Amino acid sequence: MFNKRVILLTLLMIGWPSIVTSNDNISVDIIVVTSVESPNFNLQQIKKIYLGMNASGLQNKHAVTLPHGNKTRQLFHIKVLGLSEARVRSFWAQMQFSGRGKAPVVLTTSKLTMDYLINNPYSIGYFAANTVLPPTLKVIYPRH
């Protein structure tokens, strides 16, 4: 049956106090934003929306993202989704080609993201933490 060494290694890895990997309690220089009409989604709900989990109550919440190579995008993946850029793309390939979902809409700049969020209530996007928001948008992550 299962090799004892593999089981031991697995248990060690699961219990590994992952200082680097944790996305909790780290200084955040990114904000996740939606329209003021939207509910205040928590971190788990934001993850579900960005990972295409077809959860009830989260329908029609369009997630928008920045293109590959963008620094803000990388920060968002690491700090909010807790996954590397490569793994997020690999995950979305699986979702797309198994017919389970479509990846978030890619907008090339933060300015386009801002316009999209203003014109599409309930959509969700992210920005660098020092971004000034119009009154129609609110920050849902981090929570103060």
Partner 1 sequence: MLRQFFKLLPLWALIVPAVKHIFTIATLILAFTFTTQAQQQSSLQFSGFGRLIAGVSQYDNTYVQEYDSHATIKNNSLIALQADWQIASNLALTSQIVGYLNDNKKSGLEWLYLNYQANATTRIKLGQLRTPFFNYSDVLDVGYAYPWIVPPSEVYASYFFSHYDGINVIHSVDYDDASAVLEAYAGTFNGPIVQDNRISDVELDYIAGFSVQTTFDNLTMRAAINIGKLNHSQPRFQPSFAELREYFEPVQLGSLIDDVELKGSYTFSQLGFSYDRLDYFIKGEWTHYKHDLVLIPTSTSYYLTLGYQYNDFLFHITQANLKDSLKLMTNTISTAQQYAMVRAIYQELIDLRVSGQRHSVTVGTRWDFAANMALKADVSRISYRTDTPVPATNDTVLMVGFEWVF
List residues binding partner 1 (CB under 8 A). Answer: 2-3, 6, 9-10, 13-14, 16, 18, 20-21, 23, 42, 44, 48, 53-59, 68-69, 78, 82-87, 89-91, 93-94, 96-100
Instruction: Give min distance, CB of 11 to partner 1, in A.
Output: 10
Instruction: Please write down the HEC assignment for all residues of the chain.
Output: CCCHHHHHHHHHHHHCCCCCCCCCCCCCCEEEEEECCCCCCCHHHHHHHHCCCCCCCCCCCCEEECCCCCHHHHHHHHHHHCCCHHHHHHHHHHHHHCCCCCCCEECCCHHHHHHHHHHCCCCEEEEECCCCCCCCEEEEECCC
Nearer to partner 1 among residue 91 and residue 116 (C-beta):
91
Nearer to partner 1 among residue 2 and residue 135 (C-beta):
2
Nearer to partner 1 among residue 85 and residue 142 (C-beta):
85
Nearer to partner 1 among residue 108 and residue 136 (C-beta):
108
Instruction: Give min distance, CB of 135 to partner 1, in A.
Output: 29
